[in-house]
Amino acid sequence: MTLQAFLSRRTVTPEGILPRAILVEGGRIRAVVPLDQVPPTAIVHDYADAAILPGLVDSHVHINDPGRAHWEGFHTATRAAAAGGYTSLIDMPLNCLPATTTVAGLEMKRDAARGQCRVDWGAWGGVISDNQGDIEALADAGVLGFKCFLIDAGIEGFSMVSEQELRRALPHVARTGLPLLVHAELAGPVEAATAALGSADWRSYATYLKSRPDEAELSAIRLLISLCREFGFRLHIVHLASSEALAELRAARAEGLPVSVETCPHYLHLEAETIPDGATLCKCAPPIRSRENREKLWQGLKDGVIDLIVTDHSPCPPEMKRLEEGNFRTAWGGISSLSVALPLVWTDAQRRGFTLSDIARWMAEAPARLAGLEGRKGRIAAGYDADMVVFDPETEFVVTEMNLYYRHHVSPYLNEKLRGVVEATYVRGQLVFANGEFPGENSGREVCRHDSPR
């Protein structure tokens, strides 16, 4: 087997940011050693002052394949991922057709992925109103966990769950030991707020923001915490947008409940105050809230109440964003950012005093742990897959369509100046992206909970 050595004066390891060589053999990291201890037989890749981080893991991506590959697809999503420094994507069970709510649906997804993937991928299974009987079979078939909605998901094929339906599902979920990822907004407060808006102007961002109040998130999270206490399942709150829920999430964890929390680049970067009317590129649910709220989310990351940052990459054909009419009521909600999320988060994080170690924890290690991939993905350490991103953290660039790579080049970040450039991405020791090119074959494979332990 060939021995490769990847050298950097800023290798981001669990012990800190150190001058280290990463020795790779057979797709795995064999050892991480000081720069003067590289065996003479090794093929050396010297990245000098560029940092090497663990390949990023995005546990919240909508690949939309099979069935809606014209929205995105395995081929385009995993290329965008490689260009963005991501080496593993975990696909959400909705927006594809069929949704991943049965074992047959999972098998169709595997067929769609075959030969198409630049990076590794895994599947979340769906919990919907009537598939309680499929949950344990999906776990046996290899999903990494489950996802459900407490409010209408806004797409056919994936029904929301009521509290009653969720109560029927939870004993099954708990038995699998896998996490349940929940879109935490309750319909009641959203319906009441929307009704109270009367004939408000839906081109105004303020109207959209009022229609999805903090209370919708807060009441959902309260319900979920109490169900977590009652049923003992692993609860994960997806895309937390409201900082008002942080205190109760902190208390739940202090109580010892198995609760984890994510937020997304758009909630950490954008702010309601500066979203222009009609700017439906910024529509997502829950909505982007105030500047003050955004700063509290950063504080939540600092305090460790928020564990991870994921993209919620959720593409659609550009016409569904209804950019001409700019109507926040009818436009598709979802923001795509796979290929620019790392510089986007880094630009804001370094300004607030965070380091590349924080980035590695939020965007690689913690999402890998959520998906049960600890020990295999998310760290630069012996025994782990040799998934790496070479990142120049100082160089600035302006985002253009050239940087997007996913199928439809739609983004609220075009023309923004960001800091940090992905120079190269390696999956299991193989170069999959370098300086705008995609060398070699599509060698991404499914990561499954049944893969042999190390």
Q: Does the protein bind Zn ion through residue 214 (CB under 5 A)? A: no
Candidate ranges 10-18, 166-174, 283-291, 304-312; the one touching Zn ion (CB under 5 A): 304-312
Interface with Zn ion includes 72 (CB under 5 A)?
Answer: no
CB-nearer residue toward Zn ion: 149 or 426: 149
Q: Which is nearer to Zn ion, 239 or 376 (CB)?
A: 239
* Residue in this structure with the two tokens 């070479």, named with its chain if needed: 390
Rank residues 29 and 268 by Cβ distance to Zn ion and give the closer one. Answer: 268
Q: How far is the CB of 149 from Zn ion (least distance, A)?
A: 9
Instruction: Count the site residues for Zn ion by CB under 5 A.
Output: 1
Q: How far is the CB of 353 from Zn ion (least distance, A)?
A: 29
CB of residue 266 to Zn ion, shortest distance in Å: 12
Segment near Zn ion (CB under 5 A); pick from 12-20, 43-51, 312-320, 393-401: 312-320
Q: How far is the CB of 93 from Zn ion (least distance, A)?
A: 10
The residue range among 121-129, 152-160, 306-314, 393-401 that interacts with Zn ion, by the rule CB under 5 A, is 306-314
- Closer CB to Zn ion, 154 or 375, in the complex: 154
Residue 312, interface with Zn ion (CB under 5 A)?
yes
Comparison of 185 and 312: residue with beta carbon closer to Zn ion: 312
Residue with the closest Cβ to Zn ion? 312
- Least distance in angstroms from the C-beta of 90 to Zn ion: 11
Which CB sits closer to Zn ion, 155 or 404? 155
Q: What are phi and psi of 291, to 5 degrees?
A: -60, -45
Cβ 314 to Zn ion, closest distance in Å?
5
Altogether, the residues listed in the chain come to a count of 454
Q: Which residues bind Zn ion (CB under 5 A)?
A: 312
